[in-house]
Amino acid sequence: MTEPKTQRVRDPIHNLIVFDENDDVDQLAWRLINTPEFQRLRRIRQLGVSEFIFPGATHTRFAHSLGVYHNARRLLRIIEKLNGGLDERRAKVIRLAALLHDIGHGPFSHTFEGARRALLTQKSREADYRKHEYYSAEIIKNPAGAISPLLSDDPGLPDEIAAVIEADDPSDIYHAVISSSFDADRLDYLARDRYMTGTHAGAFDSEWLFDSEWLFDSLIIEDIPLSGEDENGELSTVSTFAFSEKGRAAAEDFLLARYRLYSNVYMHKTTRGFEQVLGALLCWLGKPENAAESGIEADHPLMRLLTADGVGEVQDYVQLDDVMVWGVIERLHRKGAGYPRGLAQRLLHRQRLRCLDVSAHHPADATMVGSTDKKLQQAFKEQLEVTVFRDAAPISFYSALDGKPAKEHKVIRVRTTEGLREITRFPDTLISKGFERPKILVRYYFLEEKDHDRAERIARTGR
């Protein structure tokens, strides 16, 4: 093994991300970064097809993962300062989990996951669906891969990292570093996605947020239970981050930034339309009856994953990236015909689908949105997911706990002289004035102009 040396990465969000030669975890992280599995993330765009609308959005899961590692170190320093020290073993696990948290993302990330889920649902095997966190854990533990051997000098380390990534809720304050409302992941992707898309709305002061964070471990706050129940029905405490009062405004800005990015970038109707096209093409490829027509080899890793009856093999998964999928799309356009060629052409030539935004037709009437949605589903039931695509996506500014203990670590709390207070419970807070229940954005996309015109008429007249 070569002598350790300090490595530096220049990053547009964090400036320098330093891997210190005197820090054993940093040096291990650097070796992990240079594995084929991690280098694959260079070929997976963070925002999928968003570059069709925001040309600068070509940043990758690789850059994001480095940023999450950097943020995790900063959050751990807060824990160290306020607790008077660190559990070094737990801190090591969390740092490496932050670095590897996205190692299991497939090409085009959530669109690819959605297509695989739809294919399994069509086979009545939805229970076999696995999210990217499952694949992250499997890649980390895979003895035939390059990651596990680097970790296995420390007994149990691969399993501990995998367990953190797969867990839904944080088990302690260390876990909250990568699973909470202000975790290392969110603090990176919101800043990075805003910068790379050129979206100027939704700025937030990350430095002030870091300086204002506190820890808490509590059961009750203003009559809201902050604990879940374990398998024995016993109350368990919640450990996560809260903010000092001086950080409340910055926390509100952060939530507003998240909302602006979701509404302006992640939920952009043109982006969502291209995701529908890509998802439809992947679903078409995954149906056995289309295998011969596709002209793609049955042993191609993409075909093997899409046609798998259950969980796909890790060795296939780690070969997949956006570049490979674009190659398949180009091949379908060049040698295919009919329906798949048309979808491929739309992606290669950026040919948008016609969109009917039901929510925009009835912006203040959720009942009318629901009624119109039902009529459209009935009118196009034979064409849905083939030539007509329904997209229903939830969006909200901020969801309070409402007495439900399942996701209490997602609730934002501020440390006052009277104790912890949930962020909407301040009389002068921005959120309490603009607070909304989660709503559903309902949109329909059409391959055929005549179908779009028919849907417009139904939305306008009700028939």
Nearest to 147 by CA among 3, 324, 314, 17: 314
| Choice among 48-52, 167-171, 226-230, 418-422 with the minimum mean pLDDT | 226-230
pLDDT band at 415 (very low <50, low <70, confident <90, very high): confident
pLDDT band at 180 (very low <50, low <70, confident <90, very high): confident
What backbone phi and psi angles, to 5 degrees, belong to 101?
A: -60, -25
pLDDT band at 83 (very low <50, low <70, confident <90, very high): confident
Answer for the pair 136, 164: CB distance below 8 angstroms, yes or no.
Answer: no
Q: Which structure tokens are listed for 142?
A: 């895979």
The predicted-structure confidence for 301-314, as pLDDT tens digits, reads as follows: 999 999 887 666 88
The predicted-structure confidence for 351-384, as pLDDT tens digits, reads as follows: 999 999 998 888 878 889 999 999 999 999 999 9
The predicted-structure confidence for 422-460, as pLDDT tens digits, reads as follows: 888 888 887 765 555 667 899 999 999 999 999 999 998
Q: Which structure tokens are listed for 267?
A: 């939920």
Domain 7-197 sits in CATH 3.50.50.60 = no
pLDDT at 438: 67
Task: Give how far Cα 317 sits from Cα of 302, 321, 398, Å.
Answer: 8, 9, 35
The predicted-structure confidence for 265-276, as pLDDT tens digits, reads as follows: 999 999 999 999
What is the spatial distance between Cα 306 and Cα 316, in angstroms, rounded to a whole number? 11
The predicted-structure confidence for 324-334, as pLDDT tens digits, reads as follows: 999 999 999 99
pLDDT at 187: 94
DSSP 174-209: TGGGTSSTT-HHHHHHHHHHHHHHT--S----HHHH
pLDDT at 398: 74
What is the spatial distance between Cα 243 and Cα 182, in angstroms, rounded to a whole number? 10
